[in-house]
Amino acid sequence: MKLNKTFLAVAAAFPLLSSAVMADTVSSADLKERVFGSLFGEYYMPDLDKTESAEWNYMEKDWGYGVELGYYLTEQWALRLEFAKLDLQSKLDGSDADGNRIGLDAMYHISQLPSVYLVGGLKRFDAVQDTTAFNVGIGYKHFFNQNFALFAEANRYQGIDETYADAGVKVGLTYVFGSASAAPAPKPAPAPTPVAQAPVQPVTPADTDADGVVDSADKCANTPANHKVDASGCTIYEEKMASVGDIDIEVRFPFDSATIPADKISDVEGLGAFMQRFPESTVLIEGHASNIGNPDYNMRLSERRANSVADMLKKDFNIDPSRITAIGYGVTRPRVEGNTRAAHRANQRIEAKVTAKIKEPVLR
């Protein structure tokens, strides 16, 4: 395969792309979302290996022709289907080496040079042998009006299932169906400036609380001066999740126990009732232990204590588990320092940190 010769053959088409008989009358925006069809003639140049190979019947350079049907997707991109008849002959004895080519191409029109486009696609040949190739190329399209254009295009065809690099130069006529979208209507001329007249002093309606809403429409009188108000003069509130405080539910556990004492169940019931009343609320249940014995054991004990409260909220009050977090801190967060009986008793506890949706006024 002689790639250099193929490259020179493709480059030979470039002078066809460099000049125009007259200036284009169609912009890229005029072509968007329009269908086009083309007829073309093509000078086809097989790879040198084909011209010297019996497997390719010594295929010679020759002419072909074909049709295209495409669609402009955007101002830059278009797709097209192509069918070409390659009227080729054998260099050896003049016998037929012709065939067909069919394929799909994508076309990209360069923004700075809208008449110039790049093309690439996939092709199927049945000339002497059935093969598949991909192609890359460059083209130039010159419009004479909204529908008709001449074009020239050069492509290189690189075999996929067979090793070859053919080239072709196409010249043809394109017809774009339909018409470009109508240009927007011109803006009307501005109205003449009216003759100035003596200003009429307006009567200012009363706004007693100075919230920007006149008294006749104000449904919430005497709103605070720093509150934003709605069209009715009432304070605008926003809802957000915020901490509403640490609730010491006063669950004191016996030594080395995670069972809620009967006389402390009312504290947990109060927490459960609060969470039922405020369904957006969440709770973090912290379990603690006294500093007696093995720290690792006390950590697990504090976790069991926290989980015992969490389990009661889930079972007795049907609180969704996603709203409850239980964690044990062991002896790491004592409420009362020291090794006295009172300190140990105070530290054998549960604490709850509740977050709920609250309303706050929006300030100016």
Cβ count within 10 A of residue 238: 10
State residue 270's pLDDT score. Answer: 86
> Which strand ranges, in their side-by-side order, compose the sheet holding 282-287?
237-252, 349-361, 282-287, 324-328
Torsion angle, alpha carbons of 94, 100, 104, 105, to 10: 20
Q: Kindly give, in sequence order, each residue whose CB lies less than 8 Å from that of residue 228, ignoring residues fewer than 6 positions away.
A: 235, 236, 361, 362, 363, 364
Task: Give 26-81 as a DSSP string.
Answer: --HHHHTT-EEEEEEEEEEE--HHHHT-GGGTTB--EEEEEEEEEEE-SSSEEEEE
Q: Is the dihedral of CA 242, 246, 251, 257 positive or negative?
A: positive
Q: Which residue has the tokens 């169940």?
A: 265
Distance between CA atoms of residues 53 and 35, nearest Å: 41
Distance between CA atoms of residues 7 and 48, nearest Å: 12
Phi, psi angles (nearest 5°) of residue 359? -105, 130
Distances (CA, A) of 165 to 6, 91, 212, 350: 7, 18, 79, 81
Helix (H, G, I), strand (E, B) or coil at 309: helix
Cβ-contact 33, 72 below 8 angstroms: yes
Distances (CA, A) of 307 to 45, 259, 300, 335, 352: 83, 10, 11, 20, 12
Cβ count within 10 A of residue 180: 15
Token code pair at residue 225: 């001066």
* Mean pLDDT for back-to-back runs of 10 residues, the chain (364 residues): 41 41 64 93 92 90 94 93 93 86 94 88 94 96 91 96 93 90 65 69 80 82 83 80 62 74 82 88 88 86 88 92 92 85 82 80 83
State residue 132's pLDDT score. Answer: 96
State residue 15's pLDDT score. Answer: 43
Distance between CA atoms of residues 165 and 47, nearest Å: 5
Cα–Cα nearest to 172, from 76, 84, 60:
84
Residue 11 is classified by DSSP as H
Overall pTM surpassing 0.75 (yes/no): no
Q: Which residue has the tokens 């307006």?
A: 202
Q: Which residue has the tokens 């309303």?
A: 359
Torsion angle, alpha carbons of 286, 291, 295, 298, to 10: -50
Distance between CA atoms of residues 104 and 36, nearest Å: 14
**What amino acid occupies position 34?**
R
State residue 4's pLDDT score. Answer: 42
State residue 19's pLDDT score. Answer: 41
Distance between CA atoms of residues 243 and 260, nearest Å: 26
